[in-house]
Amino acid sequence: MNNLMIEVPEMEAKRIFEVEKIRADFPILQREVNGKPLVYLDNAATTQKPQTVIDNMIHYYTFENANIHRGLHFLSELATESYEKARLKVKEHINAMSVAEIIFVRGATEAINLIATSFCRGGFYKAGDEIIVTQMEHHANIVPWQILSQKKDIKLRVIPINEKGEIIFEEFEKLISDKTKLVSVVHTSNALGTINPVYDIVRVAHKHNIPVLLDGAQAIVHNKIDVQKLDCDFYVFSGHKLYGPTGIGVLYGKAHILNSMPPYQGGGDMIRTVCFEGSTFDDLPHKFEAGTPNIVGGIGLGAAIDYLNQFDFEDISRHEKELLNYATQKLQEIPGLKIIGTAENKASVLSFTIKDIHPYDIGTIIDTHGIAIRTGHHCTQPTMKYFNVPATARASFAIYNTKQEVDKLFAGLLKVKKMFG
């Protein structure tokens, strides 16, 4: 090569976003349910898995299975390498500073319980301290703090929402006081689809030196997350909502905070030395990963991240936004249908009720047409209470859904209406 030429690193070409080809990557989408092609619109509960995730997990059990971090034999080293590679993929995917900041857990729920338990044990709270959450939290970001409050007399302060399902930001600012120890809010609501103004929340909380935990269980699949840009102190999510397996999730935390926190569980793999007089603990991330972890889960999550990274996230967001807009417009044509959650900034989650028809009936009837939606309170009872409904029906869209599927949902709902006269 002419040494005057500057070598330009090749940009990795992204895969063209072609929904039919994407659908072919997900074997379950080829099956029928109740004699009809499956229309899977329950992605906010869990997403389907591409073949590559399934293959990577089978490959691990077929060729690499061994316990990690322990044996000095070939397979153990191979398994350790695959598991730690997955951690690196997560670190790069969310742009954490280091792999030490990526703790593998069971899911978003366990991540929040880990923080709550460790903060409590570490004496981070005193009686009367407060944690700020929103009216639209998942139970996973309410109950762990209530359990903690039974030990420490801690209060939850709740940011109210408006009728669109958006937080009232001025009220958030009013809730902050010198008693506030943590702001813990959902990034994207699973019940309403609302995307919260997390940059502003972090900015305001940090002005008062209050750390921020973001529950990214829903956001992680719709948007490219950059924890350094967000500057949040914790970010949690579950692998199974990101086209990965169940039983694996991530707690991201800033290293200096994680370092100051005591371990969550004790046991093998998280220690440096153990004797009966006491033990010393390993460095991050291992300090928080006691016992044999979900090795195959980590590997599956790494494969899911690789799968997603073939695409430009802009294409994913555009596709999902188009589906949301199309479905919103279409469903509103149905007399008596009311959309719950109409925030300006919204992810592809569509909750609704139909006058005089219980959501459970809606779900059960359209299931007979092979259409899977979720009905219930979506683990957000306080949100349901605010909207004065016991439950909603919810369609949530993913990378592989199509407008034809929205049409089938529409037709299915018309049939429900007809059945109820």
Query: Could you list the active site residues?
Result: 379
Among 135, 180, 184, 190, binds ligand PMP (CB under 6 A): 190
- Smallest Cα–Cα separation from 146: which of 156, 159, 133, 157? 156
List the interface residues with ligand PMP, window 38-77 (CB under 6 A).
none
Residue whose CB is less far from ligand PMP, 190 or 401: 190
Nearest to 147 by CA among 176, 177, 187, 109: 109
Region near ligand PMP per CB under 6 A, out of 25-33, 213-221, 250-258, 311-319: 213-221
b/e sequence 184-223, b meaning 16+ C-beta within 10 Å = bbbbbbbbbbbbbbbeebbebbeeeebbbbbbbbbbbbbb
Does position 107 bind ligand PMP by CB under 6 A?
yes
Helix (H) or strand (E) holding 254: none
Residue 228 CB, nearest distance to ligand PMP (Å)? Answer: 22
Near ligand PMP by CB under 6 A, which window of 31-39, 119-127, 212-220, 298-306?
212-220
Per-residue mark of binding to ligand PMP, 225-244 (x: CB under 6 A): -------------x------
Least separation, in Å, of the C-beta of 149 and ligand PMP? 19
Return the range that interacts with ligand PMP (CB under 6 A); candidates 61-69, 101-109, 264-272, 305-313: 101-109
Phi, psi dihedrals of residue 289, rounded to the nearest 5°: -125, 70
Residues 6+ apart with CB under 8 A from 366: 373, 409, 412, 413, 415, 416
Among 80, 109, 135, 184, binds ligand PMP (CB under 6 A): 109
Strand 212-215 and strand 155-159: the pairing is unpaired
Chosen residue from 186, 250, 290, 316 binding ligand PMP by CB under 6 A: 186
**108 sits near ligand PMP (criterion: CB under 6 A):** yes
State yes or no: residue 198 binds ligand PMP (CB under 6 A). Answer: no
Sole window of 54-62, 73-81, 105-113, 120-128 interacting with ligand PMP (rule: CB under 6 A): 105-113
| 341 vs 380: CA distance, rounded Å | 13
| Residue 50 or 247 with smaller CB distance to ligand PMP | 247
341: left (phi over 0), alpha (psi -120 to 50) or beta: left
Counting residues that bind ligand PMP (by CB under 6 A) gives: 12
217 binds ligand PMP (CB under 6 A): yes
| Residues 349, 104 contacting (CB under 8 angstroms) | no
Separation between Cα atoms, residue 103 and residue 227, nearest integer Å: 14
Of residues 271 through 290, those in contact with ligand PMP by CB under 6 A are none
Sort 45 into a burial class: Cβ within 10 Å, 0-12 / 13-18 / 19+.
middle
C-alpha span between 150 and 147 (Å, rounded) = 5
| Shortest Cβ 238–ligand PMP spacing (Å) | 3
At residue 167, the 3 state secondary structure works out as: strand
Taking CB under 6 A as the rule, does residue 215 contact ligand PMP? yes
**116-155 footprint of ligand PMP as x/- string (CB under 6 A):** ----------------------x-x---------------
Give every CB contact of residue 168 below 8 A, 6+ residues apart in sequence. 159, 160, 161, 162
Instruction: Tell me which residues touch ligand PMP (CB under 6 A).
Output: 107-109, 138, 140, 186, 190, 215, 217-218, 238, 379
